[in-house]
Amino acid sequence: MLNIDLTGRRAFVAGVADDGGFGFAIAKALAEAGASVVVGTWPPALNIFLNLLERGKMDDSRRLRDGSLLTFEKIYPLDAVFDTYDQLPEDLRSTKRYKEVGDCSIDGVAQRLVADFGDRPLDIVVHSLANGPEVKKPLLETSRNGYLAAISASAYSLVSMVARFGPLMRAGGAFSSLTYMASERVIAGYGGGMSSAKAALESDTRLLAFEAGRKWGVRVNTVSAGPFASRAASAIGIIEKMVDYVGRNAPLTAHLTADEVGAATAFLCSPLASAITGTTLYVDKGFHTMGMAVELNGP
């Protein structure tokens, strides 16, 4: 039997703050395949996440196939909008949630990983990060600051992570991120510059695959997941309509699950995908293949 075997490998999953999204599902899939998992969590969500874990509120979703619970080797505070600690504004640094966690920049997490696990501690890095403060606004009404914020949090953060985590990767290392087909098709209501951010993420994936592949021998791919009604996706405002529309018009009509995205990402990060890099892998029930809706009443 051909299995995904990640035994002895360590994965860092950026963007896990609850058990309801793709980041958690990917972390769980990697653990099911035998990897040890470290996660990065946005500082304002960190204490809530830790409390849910400690109180057993996520035990059911953490249950692995062998009956054990998914555990994290480390949970680091991470705000991927900042490359280094000196970029954090003083007024943010002094707030309670940030003052307690110290250096939560991408570089800060890289340094913590080396301090905790040695010079080359990683085999897998997953970028499950996106934020568009004006996502509900049409592009024509999006401010420059809102647009650039979406690009910074959702796309440039991958560039920064590859630059800083690439040197920490062991032989055969792999990066993966999450994108959405709004990068190439019009999804009315997915605004605030987020479609542009996803387009940038996919373009960067190709160039990073070349540059990081030549420099460190690592692979860089992205998964284009279909719409999924996670807590984070609720910020879009029309996510339920998006899910329903895809269910009525995709070749496969069953709604996408987070576990399906987790399994596909685990494959991309495994030795089974050793020749795949610079690729956008669609995990959307085939919706990206459609050129005309089956049912024309859209979201």
> Which of the residues are catalytic?
180, 190
* Single-letter amino acid, residue 72: F
* Single-letter amino acid, residue 90: E
Cβ burial, residue 97 (10 Å; 0-12/13-18/19+): middle
Rounded Cα–Cα distance for residues 138 and 246 (Å): 21
Please list, in sequence order, all residues whose beta carbon lies within 8 angstroms of the beta carbon of residue 113, skipping any fewer than 6 positions away: 12, 38, 76, 121, 122, 165, 168
Please list, in sequence order, all residues whose beta carbon lies within 8 angstroms of the beta carbon of residue 110, skipping any fewer than 6 positions away: 164, 165, 168
The angle subtended at Cα 13 by Cα 12 and Cα 15, nearest 5°, is 145
Rounded Cα–Cα distance for residues 293 and 299 (Å): 12
Q: How many CB atoms lie within 10 A of CB 138?
A: 11
Total residues found in the chain within this entry: 299
Rounded Cα–Cα distance for residues 57 and 250 (Å): 34
